[in-house]
Amino acid sequence: MKIASLFLLAYLLGSIPSGVWIGKIFFKKDIRNYGSGNTGTTNTFRVLGKTAGFVVFLMDLLKGSLATCLPYIFHISSINPLWFGVFAILGHVFPIFAGFKGGKAVATSAGMLLAYHPLFFLYSLILFLIILFITSTVSLTSMISLVLITISTVFIPYVAPTLLSEPDWLLTLIAIVVTIFIFIRHRENIARIKAGTESTISFGLKNKKKHPQK
């Protein structure tokens, strides 16, 4: 009963619709009616600005981290903490507090990894930032990063055991499922990338090419 209650709590934590609440409380806007209609970090940046976007990113990240920490907090050792992170991801994607229509779960998945393996999270964050610098496109970076991170869970233990000391097949399995799901959730972004109409950010090589220094 205790474990079931904690799974429910993890789902409810994930269900907190950060972007929707921040938009409605502080900007009197429902971000689902603007931009891409997504409730996550990228659309919040686009619709509400950098400060709101950063706050939403942190909230979504912490949702995944806190949910993953629940078994540590309540001294449960019989279940891998990743499963609680998975329930937070499900809550973020299908939030009970927002009509079961949520975000794409990139930040919440990152929060799960942060709580589960901070050093591997740091490696993943650096990888994400490098790719973002090259592409200047958040959606494309998210998809490429997840593929590389998933592959890394298999090979890193053999080439850089300091980052990940041994193969973690549950982490790899969850990474594969999350990656597939992220690609599905980015169908519209993929279409815009192919058409050359996907939004870019003011960071990285692509932006510099568009706006060369004088």
Question: At residue 210, does pLDDT exceed 70?
Answer: no
Q: Long-range contacts: 167-170, Cβ < 8 Å, 24+?
A: 168/117, 170/80, 170/82
- Model pLDDT for residues 132-173, shown as the tens digit of each residue: 999 999 999 999 999 999 999 999 999 999 999 999 999 999
Q: Which residue has the higher pLDDT, 197 or 208?
A: 197
Where b means 16+ CB within 10 Å and e means fewer, 66-80 reads: bbbbbbeeeeeeeeb
Mean pLDDT computed over every residue of the chain: 92
Banded pLDDT at 202 (limits 50, 70, 90) = confident
- The CA–CA distances, whole Å, from 70 to 3, 6, 57, 88, 117 equal 10, 7, 20, 11, 15
Against a cut of 0.75, is the pTM above it? yes
For the stretch 22-64, pLDDT in tens is 999 999 999 999 987 888 888 898 899 999 999 999 999 999 9
Other CB atoms within 10 A of residue 39 CB: 27
Rounded Cα distance, 153 and 172, in Å: 6
Higher pLDDT, 208 or 29: 29
Q: pLDDT confidence of 213, banded at 50, 70, 90?
A: very low
**What percent of the chain stands above pLDDT 90?**
80
Q: Is residue 42 within 8 Å of 63, Cβ to Cβ?
A: no
What is the structure's pLDDT at 199? Answer: 85
Q: Mean of the pLDDT values across residues 76-97? A: 95
Cβ atoms of 145 and 124 closer than 8 Å: yes
| DSSP assignments along 112-145, one per residue | HHHHH-HHHHHHHHHHHHHHHHHH--HHHHHHHH
What is the pLDDT, as a whole number, of residue 212?
46
- What is the percent of the chain with per-residue pLDDT over 70, rounded to a whole number? 96
For 99, left (φ over 0), alpha (ψ -120 to 50), or beta? left
- Contacts of residue 123, Cβ cutoff 8 Å, sequence gap at least 6: 152, 156, 163
Q: How many other β-carbons are positioned within 10 Å of the β-carbon of residue 206?
A: 17
Q: Do 164 and 158 contact (CB within 8 A), yes or no?
A: no
Average pLDDT for residues 69-86, to the nearest whole number?
Answer: 95
CA 141/CA 131 separation, integer angstroms: 6
Residue 208's pLDDT band, with cuts at 50, 70 and 90, is low
Over residues 82-92, mean pLDDT: 97
How close are the terminal C-alpha atoms of the chain, in Å? 65
